[in-house]
């Protein structure tokens, strides 16, 4: 018979006061409880219980063995509970990569809320606009904007990456506020280096306007573009998450808020064959809750006057 089960039956018989009482607790017959105790006695070569038709009592060795068995069973139970906790509580290192602007402006400000709910998880956040290979570079998760060609990955769709067109009040006072999206082509623009050849498309109702940007300055950093726009160097088209704070503070003015710009899909990616650990599952749940729904944000149109410089 199984030694652990026999020890369990023996301890239950002693604590319950009889084989029949223990049988009810264990969900087995009294005869089976007796067989387990007898199997222990045969293996040990000595009696554990003195049994009569009316009562049972521990032998001297049985009393010592009972204490040891109870201690062993309690330790095993505690170990099982600890193992269950290990399997249910998020813990360990989680490596995440995200685009620089999204990571800086959207992810970092809220990631503390995840840490509050999963204090035993250590986050390693790598912000880069390079397309990272999760498998080769050892990442657990990636926030990614745009197309998803890698079929080794599972994608959870998040809110789309919305764009805004903005300029500083100082620049617009100097260059004139455009009356129509087509007028943007007459203005100086600052843009992302990698997308300098991509047109800006705005639509409203049945009308679509395509603008070929003339970049006065191109740079490979979203935050740098934001600062350039705030400094009055030209018109910028960048994500809402990067520019909305400055629009709300009056450092930038949103242009054509009633025209729709092309949205870019954003997804949370993880490796298809990756084990779904508690830390991975908990962060996916957090990210989908945090970034899985869109929110409408009203643009504030401040007056054309001198305003404080951009604040990082």
Contacts of 304 (CB under 8 A, 6+ apart): 169, 172, 173
Choices 3.30.365.10, 3.40.50.80, 3.40.50.720, 1.10.10.10: CATH for 3-85: 1.10.10.10
pLDDT at 253: 96
Mean pLDDT lowest for which of 49-53, 186-190, 227-231? Answer: 49-53
Q: Render pLDDT for 202-259 as a digit per residue (tens, 0 to 9).
A: 999 989 999 988 888 898 888 899 999 999 999 999 988 889 999 999 999 999 999 9
Phi-psi label, residue 17: left if phi above 0, alpha if psi -120 to 50, beta otherwise: left
Q: Render pLDDT for 75-127 as a digit per residue (tens, 0 to 9).
A: 888 777 776 666 678 889 999 999 988 898 889 999 999 999 999 999 999 99
Other Cβ atoms closer than 10 A to 94: 21
| Residue ranges covered by each domain of the chain | 3-85, 89-312
* CATH topology for the 89-312 domain: D-Maltodextrin-Binding Protein; domain 2 (3.40.190)
- Per-position b or e across 124-147, b if 16+ CB within 10 A of its CB: eeebebeebebeeeebbbbbbbee
What is d(CA 267, CA 284) in angstroms, rounded to the nearest whole number?
11
Q: Render pLDDT for 128-186 as a digit per residue (tens, 0 to 9).
A: 988 888 888 989 999 998 776 667 788 888 988 889 999 999 999 999 899 999 999 99
In DSSP terms, 142 is beta-bridged to: 97, 269
With contact defined as beta carbons under 8 Å apart, do 241 and 99 qualify? no
Q: Which residue has the higher pLDDT, 76 or 307?
A: 76
Per-residue pLDDT for 308 more than 70?
A: no
pTM of the model: 0.59
Instruction: Give Rg (Cα) of the chain.
Output: 34
């Amino acid at each position: 018979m199984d030694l652990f089960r026999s020890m369990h039956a023996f301890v239950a018989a002693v604590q319950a006061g009889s084989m029949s009482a223990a049988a009810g607790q264990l969900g087995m017959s009294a005869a089976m409880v007796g067989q387990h105790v007898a199997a222990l006695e045969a293996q040990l070569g000595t009696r554990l219980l003195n049994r009569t038709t009316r009562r049972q009592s521990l032998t001297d060795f049985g009393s010592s063995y009972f204490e040891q068995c109870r201690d062993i069973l309690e330790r095993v139970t505690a170990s099982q509970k600890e193992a269950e906790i290990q399997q249910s509580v998020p813990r360990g290192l989680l490596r995440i990569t995200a685009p620089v602007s999204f990571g800086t402006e959207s992810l970092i400000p809220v990631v503390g809320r995840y840490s509050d709910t999963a204090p035993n998880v250590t986050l390693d956040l790598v912000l880069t606009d390079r397309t990272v290979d999760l498998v080769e570079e050892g990442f657990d998760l990636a926030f990614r904007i745009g197309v998803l060609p890698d079929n080794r990955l599972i994608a959870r769709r998040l809110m789309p990456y919305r764009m805004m067109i903005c300029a500083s009040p100082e620049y617009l006072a100097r260059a004139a506020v455009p009356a129509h999206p087509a007028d943007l082509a007459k203005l100086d623009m600052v843009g992302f280096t990698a997308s300098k050849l991509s047109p800006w498309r705005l639509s409203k109702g049945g009308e679509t306007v395509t603008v070929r940007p003339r970049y006065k300055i191109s740079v490979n950093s979203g935050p740098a573009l934001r600062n350039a726009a705030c400094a009055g160097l030209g018109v910028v088209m960048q994500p809402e998450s990067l520019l909305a704070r400055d629009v709300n503070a009056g450092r930038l003015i949103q242009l054509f808020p009633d025209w729709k710009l092309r949205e870019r899909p954003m997804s949370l990616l993880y490796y298809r064959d990756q084990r779904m650990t508690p830390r991975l599952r908990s962060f996916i749940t957090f990210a989908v809750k945090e970034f899985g729904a869109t929110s409408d944000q009203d643009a504030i149109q401040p007056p054309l006057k001198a305003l404080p410089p951009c604040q990082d």
